[in-house]
Chain A
Amino acid sequence: QQKVQQSPESLSVPEGGMASLNCTSSDRNFQYFWWYRQHSGEGPKALMSIFSDGDKKEGRFTAHLNKASLHVSLHIRDSQPSDSALYFCAASEPSSGSWQLIFGSGTQLTVMP
């Protein structure tokens, strides 16, 4: 079983709508969480990080972390066609001494004009 699981696998929303992406970890040692975004033909690029319980807002993007339930979510308000991309949730446990990021399998977001 993957340590970081994402849902849904794919998501379509209308332009201007709200997109909600989910991520669940099976490892309680994960402390740091990231969302990465990958446009077609490019490498992934960090979107935002969240390390503490609660919400973190950056423009149209809001991440939410609940460490007790090992759940991370990303909400995109006023979705734009340029938001169409593959979104990855990633987690790490630096206290273990291992500088690895564990990625989920991704959510393909399509924003329809």
Chain B
Amino acid sequence: EAAVTQSPRNKVAVTGGKVTLSCNQTNNHNNMYWYRQDTGHGLRLIHYSYGAGSTEKGDIPDGYKASRPSQENFSLILELATPSQTSVYFCASGDPVYEQYFGPGTRLTVL
């Protein structure tokens, strides 16, 4: 089965600090995605990528950067973390027609 892993699983950061969330997939999928999940909002797309070296803005990109250095790895970067970025973040690989495979999530708390 397709596998997506995320690290760290839990993170506590301070306001103004830099946070990097990492994602690795062994599915050899071209497309990768970063979502955040908040109660009442479902899953909202932050950034996505079509392949190594590419990143695209999703619906809520403000305050986030993304990096796709290889087919397997996709990172989400918060340069200056704010309390409003406290959330659960999910990485996924795949595509909308066939299926997206999600990782287990990272719970981020910004104090």
Contacts and interface: CB of A to CB of B under 8 A. Distances in A.
Interface stretch (B61-69, B70-78, B79-87, B91-99): B91-99
A90 B102 CA distance: 14
Contacts of B33: 101
Contacts of B48: 99-100
B102 A94 contact: no
Contacts of A88: 42-43
Q: Is the interface of B mostly helix, strand, loop or mixed?
A: strand
Interface residues of A, number: 21
Nearest to A30: B96
Contacts of B102: 43-45
Interface in A55-98: 88, 90, 92, 94
Interface of A: 2, 32, 34, 42-46, 49, 88, 90, 92, 94, 99-106
Interface of B: 4, 31, 33, 35, 40-45, 48, 50, 58, 90, 92, 95-97, 99-105
